A and B are shown apart, each in its own frame.
Chain A
Amino acid sequence: MKSLLAACGQGDAQAFQRLYQQTSPKLFGVALRIVKREDWAEDILQESYVSIWNHAGDYRTQLSAPLTWMTSIVRNRCLDWLRRPNLELAEDDDHPLDGMESAMAGPLELLQSSTEAQALANCMGTLEAKMRQTIMLAFFEGLSHSELASHMREPLGTVKTWVRRGLDRLKLCLDT
């Protein structure tokens, strides 16, 4: 995948197509998971891949794995999309938080697909349940501290502390 990205940086459109074929199901899944509407996820993916093509030359292998770099591009666009003012809510009666349960249900079982994911799953497993939930909500739903607080029905200060300590502990756990 690194060599495909490097080729894209040189303007190789065939490499870009292969990169798209290899990564779009994963990235479309991520966008759908976060914004929960296919038309939005398609728009976000379109913009993301145009960005990936335009910036492939800026990609630095030593800084991040290709899929991490690309996923960050997609996720950042998703978060931005969710933070639009005047965001029309999904037309069906989906609550924006529906589907969250799937991430809550068994993060440990779900997070098994790569070594990094396993390491993260193990470390997430060491956090208290509410701390873990808060971090996953922020990651997948793009919730702010105050949205997290109202969703978790906990005081703002408590939620902020969970996020901060949760991240501290994750770092400690992952880096050792």
Chain B
Amino acid sequence: MNYLQHRDLCEKLAAAYVLGTLRGPAARRFARLAAEHATIRLMVSEWEARLTPMADAVAERTPPASLWQKISTRIAAKGSDSKARGRDETASGLWGSLAFWRGLGVAGSTAAVALLAVLMLRPPEIIQVPVEMVRILPAKDTQPSYVAVLEDPKTHKPVLVAMAGRKSDTMIVRAVDERPIPSDRDLELWTLPPGAKPHSLGVVSARSSSLVKLAGNADTELGNIPTLAITLEPKGGSPTGGPTGPVLYAGPCLKFWQ
């Protein structure tokens, strides 16, 4: 559908996007559209100008001095290199950036080749969304040291990619191939420790990126884990604490560091 010929619809989408009621794939599609069309970006800016003054009602609070220290340290690290500026790798670029993966220094391994293949399957994802529209998570530790490509065992096609930095207690799981699941089911991610029962890491989205909170840092939680797997479970995850549904995808949990 040609959105630009439906100005009213675009207006409504822009309003809902800015207010925050436009969600999930619809919101992502809209952000992509805005990245491509200046008309739509303008609509978003106009809605931001209309609604953001609501925030004027909020009482000011001075943040602790330590916050400025952290921020100034981070910009000092980057600021000296003008080339690094404008490329906010914690924003939209991380997943899409080939340079980033090359930077891992593992290009020789088959795993890395597989990963590059996975990421290159989706070139349309590499788009520059205006920063004020970027809804991503503050990534404390964006160095992916543990990476698992979860494949469909029948077709060997990658469906989800999971990754976590060694010291991070958060794992990012991203659907690289949107496979529909029944609306009353959820995907649940498990570690399969050798000689022990599968351990649930939580429910993940079949269509977008999820953040999974680990019980400790990734080194503790994933250091001895050879394999991760996804099962189909009732909404909200397995009621028993162990997997109850079929294993849909699985893959080795790889460790990347020197």
Contacts and interface: CB of A to CB of B under 8 A. Distances in A.
Contacts of B67: 24, 28, 42, 45-46
B23 interface: yes
Contact of A79 (B20, B63, B71): B20
Contacts of A81: 137-138
A45 B54 CA distance: 19
Nearest to B71: A49
Contacts of A69: 48, 132
A20 B132 contact: no
A55 B61 contact: no
Interface string A138-176: 111011110010000000000000011001001100100
B49 A51 contact: no
A81 B170 CA distance: 13
B85 A76 contact: no
Contacts of A24: 62-63, 67-68
A85 B12 contact: no
Contact of A139 (B19, B49, B63): B19
Interface residues of B, number: 65
B19 A71 contact: no
- Report whether over half of chain A's contact residues are helix, strand or loop; otherwise say mixed: helix
Given A50-B88, A69-B132, A76-B135, A86 B58 contact: no
A46 B70 contact: yes
B53 A84 contact: no
B82 interface: yes
A43 B71 contact: no
Contacts of B210: 85-86
A85 B212 contact: yes
A32 B61 contact: yes
Given A11-B82, A46-B74, A163-B21, A64 B60 contact: no
A55 B88 contact: yes
A158 to B, nearest CB: 14
A120 B167 CA distance: 45
Interface residues of A, number: 75
Contacts of B78: 53-54
A73 interface: yes
A171 B59 CA distance: 26
B126 interface: no
B127 interface: no
13 contacts: A17-B72, A25-B61, A49-B75, A50-B71, A54-B91, A58-B86, A58-B130, A75-B55, A77-B136, A79-B20, A85-B204, A117-B53, A174-B50
Interface of B: 11-12, 15-16, 18-21, 23, 41-42, 45, 48-64, 67-68, 70-72, 74-76, 78-79, 82, 85-88, 90-91, 130-140, 202-205, 210-213
For the complex of A and B, 8 pairs with smallest distance between CB atoms: A47-B138, A110-B57, A117-B56, A25-B60, A55-B131, A117-B53, A80-B135, A116-B53
Interface of A: 11, 13, 16-17, 20, 24-26, 28-30, 32-33, 41-47, 49-55, 57-58, 63-65, 68-69, 71-73, 75-77, 79-81, 83-86, 88, 103, 107, 110-111, 113-114, 116-117, 119-120, 124, 135-136, 138-140, 142-145, 148, 163-164, 167, 170-171, 174
